[in-house]
Amino acid sequence: MTEIPHKKDKTSPFAGKQYLVSPPFVTCPKCKRDSYGVLLALADRIVRHCNACGNRAELRLPRLKKTLLYLDQLALSNMFANKAPQTPSKKRDADFWFMLRKRIGHLYNLQLLVCPSSNVHTQESNLIDSPERYHALKSASQHFAGGVSFNSIDFIRTEQIVAHVRLWHRGQARTPITLDAKFALNGHIDGWTDSVSFLLILDLGQRIGAKV
């Protein structure tokens, strides 16, 4: 990783100020104290900061190539279900979904996998009467999304039609269209995922909840 100091002068503009710094803490190259932690984690770099002396620098992170996995509402509902199974067969199903959630979570934490959220999740969740279950499913759809989401179905469909029309206009109506995955997605697909995220939930009753 390449370190890029914010300032080269001897007096840091951040000295004397306390910031929310997370572990792992390493020895600060300036004051030699073990208080050099992570202030921010961005898509391609982290920002380290020392609350002891104010030293701050950016470190570029290696490039990633993540696998995309779409989780539909059925998978999300079962993976994040809170009800205890009542029969042996349902317990077997619950064990399967628990193991699947564990394995997906492991790959997600290793920065190898991302499961984009979709407006389809929102549309299906809007049919749920229980606010608690609505909030749970809304949170579940973002759990492994890493800030990545699909564009709306209408947008994707429209762009596909436009691509077909352009081929037809060029006399290539039988040529299949080729669209990059990034065309259908928002967010840093191959970016490093921060350990902290914020989710604002607005349900049908106009009640606003924030989840960290």
Out of 24, 43, 60, a domain closes at: 60
- Cα distance between residue 70 and residue 26, in whole Å: 37
In sequence order, the β-bridge partners of residue 48 are: 38, 57
Let me know whether 106 and 205 are in one domain: yes
Instruction: Print burial letters for 93-109: b (CB count within 10 Å at least 16), e (below 16).
Output: ebeebeeebeebeebbe
Let me know whether 47 and 112 are in one domain: no
Out of 42, 60, 78, a domain closes at: 60
How many domains in the chain? 3
Cis check: omega of the bond before 23, within 30 degrees of 0: no
Let me know whether 54 and 126 are in one domain: no
Residue 15 — very low, low, confident or very high, per pLDDT cuts 50/70/90?
low
Residue 13 — very low, low, confident or very high, per pLDDT cuts 50/70/90?
low
Contact call for residues 118 and 150 (beta carbons, < 8 A):
yes
Task: Indicate yes or no: pTM above 0.75.
Answer: no
Let me know whether 33 and 100 are in one domain: no
Segment holding 5, helix H or strand E: strand 3-5
Let me know whether 41 and 143 are in one domain: no
- For 14, the 3-state DSSP assignment is coil
For residue 95, CA distances in Å to 41, 85, 98, 99 come to 34, 10, 5, 6
With 80 as the cut, is the pLDDT of residue 39 above it?
yes
Q: What is the mean pLDDT of the chain?
A: 80
* Between 36 and 122, the higher pLDDT residue: 36
Cα–Cα nearest to 138, from 49, 90, 76: 76
- In this prediction, residue 208 carries a pLDDT of 41
Segment holding 165, helix H or strand E: helix 153-169
Let me know whether 112 and 137 are in one domain: yes
DSSP 126: T
pLDDT digits (tens, 9 = 90+) for 64-100: 999 999 998 889 888 887 665 566 777 788 889 999 9
Residues spanned by the domain of 7: 3-60
Contact call for residues 125 and 134 (beta carbons, < 8 A):
yes
* Between 104 and 182, the higher pLDDT residue: 104
Let me know whether 71 and 143 are in one domain: yes
Let me know whether 200 and 100 are in one domain: yes
- In this prediction, residue 74 carries a pLDDT of 86
Out of 33, 60, 87, a domain closes at: 60
* Between 27 and 182, the higher pLDDT residue: 27
- In this prediction, residue 125 carries a pLDDT of 66
Let me know whether 191 and 175 are in one domain: no
Let me know whether 126 and 198 are in one domain: yes
Let me know whether 191 and 104 are in one domain: yes
With 70 as the cut, is the pLDDT of residue 173 above it?
yes
Contact call for residues 88 and 43 (beta carbons, < 8 A):
no
Contact call for residues 141 and 76 (beta carbons, < 8 A):
yes
- Percentage of residues of the chain with pLDDT beyond 70: 77
- In this prediction, residue 89 carries a pLDDT of 72
Contact call for residues 20 and 165 (beta carbons, < 8 A):
no
- Cα distance between residue 29 and residue 125, in whole Å: 50
pLDDT digits (tens, 9 = 90+) for 110-166: 999 999 988 887 777 666 666 777 777 778 888 899 889 999 888 888 988 998 999
Let me know whether 115 and 177 are in one domain: no
Pair of tokens at residue 87: 């029969």
